[in-house]
Amino acid sequence: MATAVAAPFRFFSLQVVRTRRLGPSLVRVTFDGSDLRDFHSDGQDQSLSLFIPHPGQSEPRVPIELGDGWWQGWRELPEDVRAVMRSYTLRSLRRDADGHTAEIDIDFVLHGVEPDAAIEAGPASRWAAGAAAGDKVVLLGPAVADNRAIRFRPPEDTDLVVIWGDETAVPAACSIVESLPAGTPARVWLEVPHAGDIQDLVTEADAEITWLVQEERAAQSPPLALSVLRDTQLPPAEHPYVWIAGESGCVKELRRHFVREREFDRRRVTFVGYWRQGLTEEQLREQE
């Protein structure tokens, strides 16, 4: 039985329904479970904490029964026993006839899974690459639709939306673009490892979407995103809003570009570091 954490978040016990390979580096995993009827989110970049089992475990070990003390209890479990925790964003959700959440999608980046990969696959990539129907996970997610784990919040007077995201932010960015109101001017850059990772997006916004493929410009310096954006002339706007997410170092450079070089109002630039080059999520969590 799932036990509530501090509102507006709680635990959800879920299982895999199906998987779908989106490209060489991306796989979509669909989850369901009776707990999802209490899952509520109105955000397009909703952050989640996903707990997956170690190889050989039938389900992830998370001491949900400890209530608010779950974190300390989880930390005290041996590393090879406690569930692997990773941060993700919600790609989409589907509701049943009564309006309750019935299924959710999470897109995983498969770093290091390819046979000729230059880096070693992490536990979440390995799990997602082999995920099958019935596999069990635990999710720490929203029980309240409007919650602090939603970052994309353009002010009402926004007359231009600017978006950049690397492969870890592509799910959230795609969800944002698809949700923009009809006619909304938007300029979007999405960075992926391979050309096969490019996705078709349907939006009613006036969106110009540019896919940046890392394998085609691997030697680019400064970072690919910064180089491209510096050479881009944005349409005129009095009240632009920027959302940038991905690797922390690149995100900081892009924020500096918009605030210092383009002189955008810093209060209208949302920036989120999803990961940091050279650090695992455990190491990043320790630093924070």
Query: What string of DSSP letters covers 161-202?
Result: EEEEE-TTTHHHHHHHHHHSPTT-EEEEEEEESSGGG-----
Per residue in 142-175, pLDDT (tens digit) is 999 999 999 999 999 999 999 999 999 999 999 9
Q: Provide the pairing of β-strand 160-165 with 185-192.
A: parallel
Cross-strand partners of 49: 87, 140
Confidence of residue 215 (pLDDT cuts 50, 70, 90): confident
CA atoms within 13 Å, Cβ hemisphere of 257: 22
- Per-residue pLDDT reduced to its tens digit, 55-107: 999 999 999 999 999 999 999 999 999 999 999 999 999 999 999 999 999 99
pLDDT of 245 higher than 90: yes
Contacts 24+ apart (CB under 8 A), 61-67: 62/11, 62/138, 64/2, 64/3, 64/11, 64/138, 65/3, 67/3, 67/4, 67/5
pLDDT value, residue 190: 96
* Predicted TM-score (pTM) of this structure: 0.89
Distance CA 88, CA 229 (A): 26
Mean pLDDT rounded to a whole number for the chain: 90
Give the C-alpha separation, 38 to 175, whole Å. Answer: 21
Q: List the structure tokens of 249.
A: 């170092």
